[in-house]
Amino acid sequence: MIRLERRPEPSRAWTAATPILAVALTMLAGGALFAALGKDPVAAIRTIFWDPLFNEQFAAYSRPQLLVKAGPLILIAIGLSLGFRAGVWNIGAEGQYIIGAICGAGVALALYPAESALIFPAMVLAGALGGFLWAMIPAILKTRFNTNEILVSLLLVYVAEQLLASMALGAMRNPEGGGFPGSRNLQQYPSAHNPELLANTGMHWGVVAAFLAVIGAYVLLNRHITGFHIRLAGEAPKAARFAGVRPNALVVFCFGVSGALAGLAGLFEVSGPSGQISIDFNVGYGFTAIIVAFLGRLHPLGILLAGLLMALTYIGGELAQFMLGLPAAAIQAFQGMLLFFLLAVDVLTNYRVRLGRGEVAR
């Protein structure tokens, strides 16, 4: 009989070790999954985790992609992690990402073809504002009417996807696009373009924003009273109220920040790597960022590393698809598995596992 015994206090060693253990277990289980699909598990794991960075043939293309993919993931995950720490569950980042992109692109498309150094900053503001306002819907419904924020934020993703489709097919369709869906390509509109800042690094303004967000979140959580209140509210809501935290203000703050960051991620994507508003503009960053946030243990530095790792699985997954014929869905399942293992081994942080006779009637 195995039983769990609560530790007198959380183990710091395991707090750091569990993500690594989870990644190792996922590689094992993922390998088994790939083997079951008839692929060589060792080759598959190597293709996903090693080749994108170190294989001479692919690295030149893959390495810059790492930052391109990691940027939005980190940016969104940092915002989500604040809420998750406070027990405020924004799981609709995908929708805020879409709305941010629509608003940012909307500014550019409205001003086309004017050229001005102010256009891009205006787009950034519009993107952040769009995500912020979209996130305010669940936040205000929560604070005003006590409506479940998990369900509302998630349902709004589907609404945002429909809005995106309507934009790509209607209001924002490229008038010179020959009737095809999708907006003008912002990469060809210099004032609105979010370019690669350093050649062959993948670094663009979104990545810069992600790094700034990591630093900002670190300072907020560890040095500022607001960050302390966020942590307090998550660990002991009643104690937080006793300490003087206003729960409603916290809900608005967490949704606002995460919505704005997700909106920014969408804006930087639409004005950079993606280039245009199209029906399939969103690729699930808003959901994968949930995994990134947990894998990073809701800690800013952890999220930075987790975002890079998760970006690697995207790139490696594409590579494995191309090289080994591994289905795209396998990578999605692989990422989900990672979150499962992480949550499973998390128990070690707070509990000690004992072997022996169970004494508690369950």
Partner 1 sequence: MSDVLLSIEGLTKAYPGVLANDAVSFDIRKGEIHALLGENGAGKSTLVKMIYGLVRPDAGRMTLDGRPYAPASPHEARAAGVAMVFQHFSLFEALSVAENVALGMENPPPMRALAHRIREVSETYGLPLDPARVVGDLSAGERQRVEIIRCLLQEPRLLIMDEPTSVLTPQEVEILFATLRRLAGEGTSILYISHKLEEIRALCDRATILRLGRVVGRADPQALSARELAEMMVGQELMTPSRPPAPRGEVVLDVAALSLASPSPFGTSLKSVTMQVHAGEILGIGGVAGNGQDELLAALSGEMLAPADAIRLCGIEVGQLGPTARRRLGLLAAPEERLGHAAAPDMTLTENALMTGAVRQRLLNRGFVRWGAAREFACRIIERFDVRTPGPEHAARSLSGGNLQKFVIGREILQRPLALVVNQPTWGVDAAAAAAIRQALMDLAAEGAAVVVISQDLDELMEISDRFAALNEGRLSAPRPTAELTVDEIGLMMGGAHDMEVAHVAG
Partner 2 sequence: MNLSGISPEVLIAALMVASTPILLAAIGELVVEKAGVLNLGVEGMMIFGAICGFAVAVETGSPALGFLGAAAGAAALSMLFGVLTQFLLSNQVATGLALTLFGLGLSALVGQGYVGVTPPAMAKLDLGPLGDIPFFGRVLFGHDAMVYLSLALVAAVWMFLNRSRAGLILRAVGESHDAAHALGYRVVAIRLGAIAFGGACAGLGGAYLSLIRVPQWTEGMTAGAGWIALAIVVFASWRPWRVLLGAYLFGGVTVLQLNLQAAGLAVPVEYLSMSPYVVTILVLVVMSSGRGRAALNAPASLGRVFHATT
Q: Which residues of the shown chain bind partner 1 in the complex (CB under 8 A)? A: 5, 8-10, 223-226, 228, 231-232, 235-236, 238-244, 246, 352, 357, 359-361
Based on the shown chain and the rule CB under 8 A, indicate whether residue 332 belongs to the binding site for partner 2.
yes
Kindly state the smallest distance separating residue 249's Cβ from partner 2, in Å: 19
Based on the shown chain and the rule CB under 8 A, indicate whether residue 362 belongs to the binding site for partner 2.
yes
346 with 18: CB under 8 angstroms? yes
Binding mask 126-145 for partner 2 (x = CB under 8 A): ---------------x--xx
Nearer to partner 1, 5 or 176 (CB): 5
Nearer to partner 2, 211 or 340 (CB): 340
Based on the shown chain and the rule CB under 8 A, indicate whether residue 283 belongs to the binding site for partner 2.
no
Cβ burial, residue 290 (10 Å; 0-12/13-18/19+) = buried
Q: Distance (Å, rounded) from C-alpha 237 to C-alpha 213? A: 26
Kindly state the smallest distance separating residue 223's Cβ from partner 1, in Å: 5
* CA 65 from centroid of its chain's CA atoms: 16
160 with 281: CB under 8 angstroms? no
Nearer to partner 2, 67 or 137 (CB): 137
The sign of the dihedral angle between the CA atoms of 295, 297, 299, 305 is negative
Q: Site for partner 2 (CB under 8 A): which residue of 146, 175, 176, 238?
A: 146
93 with 289: CB under 8 angstroms? yes
223 binds, among partner 1, partner 2, none (CB under 5 to 8 A by kind): partner 1
Nearer to partner 1, 180 or 242 (CB): 242
Nearer to partner 1, 13 or 36 (CB): 13
Based on the shown chain and the rule CB under 8 A, indicate whether residue 151 belongs to the binding site for partner 2.
yes
Q: Distance (Å, rounded) from C-alpha 243 to C-alpha 240? A: 5
Q: What DSSP string runs through 10-53?
A: --HHHHHHHHHHHHHHHHHHHHHHHHHTTS-HHHHHHHHHTHHH
Q: Distance (Å, rounded) from C-alpha 167 to C-alpha 174? A: 10
- The identity of residue 283, as a single letter, is V
Nearer to partner 2, 207 or 331 (CB): 331
Structure-token pair, residue 240: 């937080």
Based on the shown chain and the rule CB under 8 A, indicate whether residue 17 belongs to the binding site for partner 2.
no
225 binds, among partner 2, partner 1, none (CB under 5 to 8 A by kind): partner 1
258 with 149: CB under 8 angstroms? no
Q: Distance (Å, rounded) from C-alpha 293 to C-alpha 312? A: 16
Residue numbers 160-199 binding partner 2 by CB under 8 A? 162-163, 165-166, 169-170
The residue ranges that bind partner 2 (CB under 8 A) are 4, 6, 37, 84, 89, 91, 141, 144-148, 150-152, 154-159, 162-163, 165-166, 169-170, 287, 290-291, 294, 327-337, 339-340, 343-344, 346-347, 350-351, 360-362
